[in-house]
Copies of this chain bind each other. A is one copy, B any other.
Amino acid sequence: MHGPPWWHGRFRGCGYRLTIPRDAILNVLSKASKHLSAEEIYFAVHKIYPAIGLTTVYRTVDLLAGMGLVHKFDFGDGRSRYELSKGPGSIHHHHLVCRGCGRVIDYTDFIDEEAELFKQTEAALSKKYNFKIKSHRVQFYGLCEKCKPKEENKE
């Protein structure tokens, strides 16, 4: 748990500078338990470095997504959400999105089975469409246990 965070290495020789704002944003993301919006990142970072602006958050998060350090998600609530991609302690997972309240549940169940199938699918699609696949998104939409009852009352 000591020494520089793992992402420092990713900034070596790639032409980008590891600045205070970038490091701070990565720190916030690494501590976040959930998928943060740009504004949420801004508020969190602002507590430690009040000088960091929202514009920088957008730019940084975009850069990091380009570097593959963070994943950008859209859960249909009108704003993008970001999550550290790899790194220690993070497991590949997919999402369950509630259409009622917007809650997002990460799940890792069946990931192994999915992974196997996706590996095959990716290989075949890459070949067939001459497409270089870099990542994938899987999301299930529906109603969480709190919103299910509400929906039933409507009828």
List residues of chain A with CB under 8 Å of any chain B CB. 72, 74, 76, 96, 98-99, 105, 107, 109-110, 113-114, 117, 120-122, 124-126, 128-145, 148, 151
A148 (CB) vs chain B CBs: closest residue: B132
27 A-B residue pairings within 8 Å (CB atoms) = A74-B74, A96-B125, A96-B133, A105-B129, A105-B131, A107-B129, A109-B125, A110-B117, A110-B125, A113-B121, A114-B121, A117-B117, A122-B140, A125-B140, A130-B144, A131-B142, A131-B145, A132-B142, A132-B143, A132-B148, A133-B142, A134-B141, A134-B142, A135-B142, A136-B141, A137-B139, A138-B138
Which residue of B is nearest A105, CB measured?
B129
Tell me whether B139 and A136 are in contact (CB under 8 A): yes
Contacts of A120 in B (CB 8 A): 110, 113
Instruction: Supply 20 further A-B pairs (C-beta < 8 A) apart from A109-B121, A110-B121, A136-B139.
Output: A105-B131, A110-B120, A110-B124, A110-B125, A113-B120, A113-B121, A117-B117, A129-B145, A130-B145, A131-B142, A132-B142, A132-B148, A134-B143, A135-B140, A136-B138, A136-B140, A136-B141, A137-B138, A137-B139, A137-B141
**A140 CB contacts on chain B under 8 angstroms:** 122, 125, 131, 133, 135-136
A131 to B138, CA, bound (A): 16
